[in-house]
Structures are given as structure tokens and as C-alpha cells.
Amino acid sequence: MPRAAAKRRAAASPGPQRSVAKGRPRHHLLVLHGPNLNLLGEREPQHYGRVTLAEIDDELAARAARAGVSLTCFQSNHEGDLVTRIQEARTSADAIIINPAAYTHTSIAIRDALAATGLPAFEVHLSNIHKREPFRHRSMISDVCVGQVVGFGALSYGLAFDAAVAHLARTQAQSK
């Protein structure tokens, strides 16, 4: 499916996703939110803060508009849905920003899907996973990501967005 048609479909379809595109975007970013992130603002605010997922997505949409890039955000509590979106990104995105949430520590499927795309991926966590319980210290996806942004609350997403846009610009400049 052509990129424009896919974005229209994503914007028009119901469900936990949204798409933003202004004018002719330079790049398209896919933002994936893993399980339980739909409960942000309510769930364990001492770790994740009071900002909702909708507020995070709104801030990312504003950044995308300012940067001249298009953006699709998607949240799922199901590993297979996230893997499918990652696989589809091969033909529709230039980079992936992902907070796999609990799947960070367990999902070889998400790790392998990210590796298979060949796209630059940026791992995001609201809390500092390295200062949490020992089982959270290990990321199954970090070795296939450009970098990891952790511990800055909702700002982690903005920092990862800025890093992704800068990485794409740098890569594009180097290829000329």
C-alpha cells in the first residue's frame, strides 16, 4: 500500500493509533507504545508520572508538525500487534520510536522484528529501568536500537523524537 494511502487509512481507522502529516513530510516516524501504557496518568504515578498517553502523543504531534515530519502513534497490549506494526514499517516509516514496556525484558519477537526492518529504532522508557527491580535492567531490544532514552518521564519521548529526527537528517546528509 502506498505510504499516503496507509497514512489515510491509519488516520481514519478506529483504535489506539493516530497519524499526523502536514504538507510534504521529509520523513515518517512510527511511535509504538507497549502494554499498559494506555493507563498512563493512572497507573503507578510514582514511576510513570501523571501525564497520559494522549498527552504524550499530542506533544509528539506538535514536534512532528514543527519538524516537518509525519508521525503515526500506535499502542497495543498485544505483542503480535506490535510485531506486525514493526514489520509493516519496512515500507511505511523511516524510523521507529518504541516503548515496549514490559516486553522490553521478554520479547525476542519484538527484537527480531526491529532487526529485520533495517530501520533505525530508538528505545524509550518513562522510568529509569536501570534503577528499578533487577528483572527490568535487561532490555532485549537495546542491541538493535540506535540508542535508549530512559528516566525522564514523558520528556523521554520528546528526547527520542529529537534524536530520531537528527539521526535521519545526519544519515540523509551523509548519503549525499
Residues labelled catalytic:
48, 125
Q: How far apart are CA 40 and CA 49, in angstroms?
A: 8
- Cell 525476542 belongs to 108
Q: How far apart are CA 12 and CA 19, in angstroms?
A: 9
Q: How many CA atoms lie within 13 A of 171 on its CB side?
A: 13
Write out the E strands in the chain.
Answer: 17-20, 28-33, 70-75, 95-99, 121-125, 147-150
- Residue 149 β-bridge partners: 124
Among candidate residues 137, 127, 122, 143, the one with its CA nearest the CA of residue 30: 122
Residues with Cβ within 8 Å of residue 170, at least 6 apart in sequence: none
